[in-house]
């Protein structure tokens, strides 16, 4: 992560972005690199990554042996004092690259799709265009937007950690259950 942070990111601004680092274009990024785990060439990497994203609202955009791109969304939970409820979705693009030493992946193009209550009291996606997390809000909404960014960062970081745990299981044997 230090290599990426040193080459592309502005780490000084990380406190103002809710925890995200920014790339050279100013977009928020969650980046992970692992140079310790080798991925052998005969493994079907696309199938292994699809296995993780199959249960999530995601779809494969581009794929070859060295690079896989996924677009998807994950639910953002709002941390209210009394109870948690879904405040919206975080829409993301994830790029996975196999390197000579291991692999790296990053989540980028992050946007927030808010939810509203419909006339029956159910939370549904608002009929507005998703709001990029990099967008600066007015001074009135700045505090609330900073909290939403923070929640989005924790949501994407948790997704990244779960994906990383899934990748650690690549070389482990699978358990077969007999009836």
The answer to whether position 10 is within a domain reads yes
pLDDT tens profile 61-105: 777 767 888 899 888 876 654 556 677 889 999 998 888 888 888
Q: Is the pLDDT of residue 12 over 50?
A: no
pLDDT at 33: 83
Q: Which domain holds residue 133?
A: 2-143+152-166
Alpha helices in 29-141 (DSSP H): 45-53
Computed over every residue of the chain, the mean pLDDT equals 78
pLDDT of the residue at 129? 92
Report which of 28, 26, 86, 52 is spatially closest to residue 159, judged by C-alpha positions. Answer: 52
Residue 92 burial by Cβ neighbours in a 10 Å radius (0-12, 13-18, 19+) = buried
Domain membership flag for residue 176: no
pLDDT value of position 100:
80
More confident residue, 86 or 159: 159
The whole-number average pLDDT for the span 97-123 is: 87
Tally the domains of the chain: 1
> Is 54 part of a structural domain of the chain?
yes
Position 13 in a domain: yes
Chain-centre distance for alpha carbon 177:
32
For residue 3, pLDDT over 70 is answered with no
In a domain, 171, yes or no: no
pLDDT classification of 2: cutoffs 50, 70, 90: very low
What pLDDT does 43 receive? 63
CATH number at residue 42: 3.30.530
Domain presence at residue 177:
no
Q: Is residue 99 part of a domain?
A: yes
pTM value?
Answer: 0.78
The pLDDT of 17-27, averaged and rounded, is 78
Q: 102-126 burial, b for 16+ CB within 10 Å, e for fewer?
A: ebbbbbbbbbbbebeeeeeeeeeee
Residue 97 pLDDT: 86
Within a domain: 127? yes
pLDDT for 40-60, tens place per residue? Answer: 655 677 777 888 888 787 777
Q: What is the mean pLDDT of residues 7-13?
A: 48
């Amino acid at each position: 992560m230090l290599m990426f942070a040193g080459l592309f990111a502005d780490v000084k601004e990380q406190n103002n972005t809710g925890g995200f680092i920014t790339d050279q274009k100013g977009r928020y990024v969650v980046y992970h690199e692992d140079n310790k785990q080798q991925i052998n060439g005969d493994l079907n990497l696309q199938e292994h990554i699809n296995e993780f994203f199959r249960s999530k609202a995601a779809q494969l955009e581009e794929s070859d042996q060295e690079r896989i791109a996924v677009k998807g969304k994950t639910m953002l939970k709002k941390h209210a004092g009394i109870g948690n409820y879904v405040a919206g979705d975080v829409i993301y693009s994830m790029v996975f690259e196999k390197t000579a030493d291991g692999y790296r992946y990053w989540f980028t193009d992050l946007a927030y799709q808010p939810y509203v209550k419909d006339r029956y009291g159910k939370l549904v996606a608002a009929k507005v265009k998703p709001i990029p997390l990099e967008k600066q809000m007015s001074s009135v909404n700045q505090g609330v937007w900073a909290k939403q960014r923070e929640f989005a960062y924790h949501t994407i970081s948790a997704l990244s950690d779960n994906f990383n745990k899934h990748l650690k299981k690549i070389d482990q044997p699978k358990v077969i259950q007999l009836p």
